[in-house]
Structures are given as structure tokens and as C-alpha cells.
Structure 1
Amino acid sequence: MPDRSFKVPWKRALAVARPRSTMAPPRAATARELLRVCCEVQSRFQEVELPLLVVHGGDDTLCDPECAEELHRRAGSEDKTLRVYPGMWHQLVGEPEENVDKVFGDVLDWFKSHAAAAAATPGEGQQ
């Protein structure tokens, strides 16, 4: 099965060359624990009440984009944003540079707008 994480060959080669990198499937106990944690997190989506930004590749074959949509839908936060990038894969940093720039630009814009809003709103104990 081809690596569906990195579109750019040099980025894929760099990731695979990491000393702790493995292409082997996870051990059964690791897979079981990952499934347990995912179920736990999914059961608690409604507890997310802070501002939330969810970014996801629209053509991700490792994690279904519908899971990101479910997190966004079920999160308890009143301030939540979902960005699904059509055509992008799982590892957004493994995309061509123009895609990486788009995603990170959107994330930075989201942080800047939230920081500006927080700075303009007096906090508790301030007048």
C-alpha cells in the first residue's frame, strides 16, 4: 500500500528516514489502545468548550474527514471553525508548498483573529 501521508517525494523520504520511523503495521495491543482512546475522545466531544479550529485533508485516507465533521458538529464550543481542504491528504505538511502555505496561513489568521478579539475584550477583574 503506498504511503498516503506525503505527496511530495522529498518530504516522504525525510519522514521515512527518521530513526524511529516504521512502515510496519501497529502491534495488536497498540491498535487496541488507539481504538480505546479514540472511542473515549469521541464520547467526550461535547466537553470541548474552548474556541476550536479543526483542519483536515478532504482526501485523507488514514482518518475519515467525517470524523472531523462530527467533532465540529458535536463540540460544545460556541466558537468553532471547520476547515476541510479538498484534495489534501492526511499529513498536511507533506503537501506541496502552496497547500502548506494555505493551511498554515488559515491557521495563523484564525489565531490572530481570536487573539485580537481576546485583547479587545476585558477579562475578569479588568475595567
Structure 2
Amino acid sequence: MREREGSAGVPYSDLPHIVNADGLHLFCRYWEPTGQPRALYLCPWSWEHCGPYDEMHRTEKLLAGIAHDHVGHGQSEGDRMNIKDFQIYIRDSLQHIDLMKSHHPDLPVFIVGHSMGGAISILTACERPGDFVGVVLIAPLVQMNPESATPFKVFMAKLLNHMLPSLTMGSIESKWLSRDKRQVEAYDADELNYHGGMRVSFGMQLMAAVERMQREIPSISWPFLLLHGDADKLCDIRGSRMMYDNSPSTDKKIKIYEGGYHALHHDLPEVAESVLKELTTWITEHIPAATSGPAIK
């Protein structure tokens, strides 16, 4: 039997990976701090793969980062941008966390999520709130854009999901990701990113995840940091504001970036620098005292 390979033709046996409950290989990345780690954080990122975030993880000397390409993303197996149940993303994230915690049981765990990865982060933390010290959300998907979720469009999406679930709708306009043209060009040139249209069935999964999040928000008590640009055209900032206003958490913070686009960590250099500083400062301040562990492998 031929050994399974990642998208670049490299066998998974030569790549860091986990095998999920469905037997699919998920490509992983790990970022180690320069010294003994004081905390561990999972990054369930967005439509992209986990490769473009290397520079983000190199900025923090105390934190160990782990990430994987979701099913159907990047170098992981699975039908591109298609999934039968959004819960699979949450299940796989918890599996990865459980694996790392088995090796490093004394390290506190955080989640850092962007866009759709923000939705995954929120639902993952809601499922097992006792497992996480805090959650950082960068332009999370909490609310569908009103213009794309009118009653008529939702009705048509549900109808098409029964008749033509594989029908593709509009793709992401990369120009709205960042005000830095170099970042947009890099996104467009990256073959591991999905550049096609969104299937109707996938859109329905996103809507179901949003509905579930909005039911969960009134009971969210865990600490969180929200970062969002007020010029974000891909994930409605009103979702972040609604989460901040309606969550009963007593440890929450929101920072709005004037003129900021969707991928704040890849926006203008001064914005990206501010985002990384906010993220690392907030996590560092929330690490329980006297925690450290061996290097992440």
C-alpha cells in the first residue's frame, strides 16, 4: 500500500502530523520558546494553513505554540473546504490539545484563533472551559455579515443545500485581508491556500456554528481578549462587540483598530506589531505563577 503523502508529495511519516478520529492525517506545526515554556497555546487558524504564521510565534520567548491544518486545508487530508459537520474542527482541536497535555500536563493552555479559527476557538473553549486559561480572538467569525444572511438568502441557501450542496458561491476577496499589498500578494501566490468558491454545504455549516455560538455567548465566563479592525469586510465587527457586551465574563477586553482590515496580524506593519504585543502581553499576564515545563516536541 502506498504511504499517504502531504500536498507537497512528502510522506506523512516524514512530516509532523496527527491522525484524527476519521483516520485523516492532519499536518502539524510546533513553535518552541527560547527557554523553558511557561504556557502552551493552540492556534486553530482560518481558511489558510498554519505556515504563514511563523513570524507571529517567534515573537514570544515564554510560550510554546501548536497548530494543525484543519481537515481539507493546507497539507492535511480531506476534501478541500468541505466538511460534513463543523464539530469535526472542534473535535480535532481537542484531540491535539489532549495529546500535548499528556506530554506537558503542568503547562496552562490558551487558544488563539482568527476568523473561522475564532469560531472554532470559541466553541472549543465552550465545550471544555476548564481546560483553558484564556482565549485570544483576532477578527473572529461570531456573526454572519447582514448582507449575506438576509432571510431570503438564508432560505435560498437551505434550499440549495438540499438540491445542490456542492454548488460553489463567491470566493474570498483577498484584497480585504490586509492593507499591506505584499501580504495580499503572498496570500494569492500561496498554493496551500484555498482560492476557490465556498460550497453551499460549507456555508450552511458556518451558519450553524454561528447560531451555536450565539446560544453559548450568554454563558461564557472564561477570560478572553478580542481584537478587531473596524474596516473588516469579511467578519462582521458587530459580532465581536456583541460577544463582549453579552458575555458575563468578568475578565474580558476588546480593542478596536481604526481602519484595520481582517487579518490584523498581517495588516500594516504598525498594526501587526501592536496586535502581537497585545496578544503576548495579555497571555503572559494570565499565566499562573510558577509554571514551566520541558521543551515541546
Fold match (TM-score > 0.5): yes
Q: Which has the higher strand share?
A: 2
Show CA shifts across 1:56-100 (max 9, x none).
111101111111010111112111111111110111122111110
For the pair 1:54 / 2:226, whether they are aligned, the reply is yes
In structure 2, the gaps of 5 or more residues are 1-172, 291-297
Match in the other structure for 2:180: 8
Q: Which portions of structure 1, spanning 4 or more consecutive aligned residues, are displaced by more than 6 angstroms?
A: none
Structure of greater relative contact order (alpha carbons < 8 Å, 6+ residues apart):
1
Using the TM superposition, give the Cα deviation of residue 39 of structure 1 relative to its aligned residue in structure 2, in angstroms.
1.0
The AA in structure 2 aligned to 1:61 is: K
SS in 2 for 1:104: helix
The TM-score, its normalising length taken from structure 2, stands at 0.37
Instruction: State how far apart, in whole Å, the 2-side matches of 1:95 and 1:62 are.
Output: 14
The AA in structure 2 aligned to 1:105 is: K
Instruction: State how far apart, in whole Å, the 1-side matches of 2:273 and 2:263 are.
Output: 14
In structure 1, the gaps of 5 or more residues are 121-127
The TM-score, its normalising length taken from structure 1, stands at 0.82
Within-5 A mapping of 1:27-66 = 27-66=199-238
Equivalenced residues, count: 118
Using the TM superposition, give the Cα deviation of residue 26 of structure 1 relative to its aligned residue in structure 2, in angstroms.
0.5
Using the TM superposition, give the Cα deviation of residue 19 of structure 1 relative to its aligned residue in structure 2, in angstroms.
2.1
Match in the other structure for 2:138: none
Instruction: State how far apart, in whole Å, the 2-side matches of 1:32 and 1:41 are.
Output: 14
Alpha-carbon contact 2:232-2:261 (below 8 Å) kept: yes
Alpha-carbon contact 2:261-2:267 (below 8 Å) kept: yes
Instruction: State how far apart, in whole Å, the 2-side matches of 1:28 and 1:3 are.
Output: 23
Q: Which has the higher helix share?
A: 1
Match in the other structure for 2:265: 93
Show CA shifts across 1:8-48 (max 9, x none).
12211211222232333311111111111111111111232
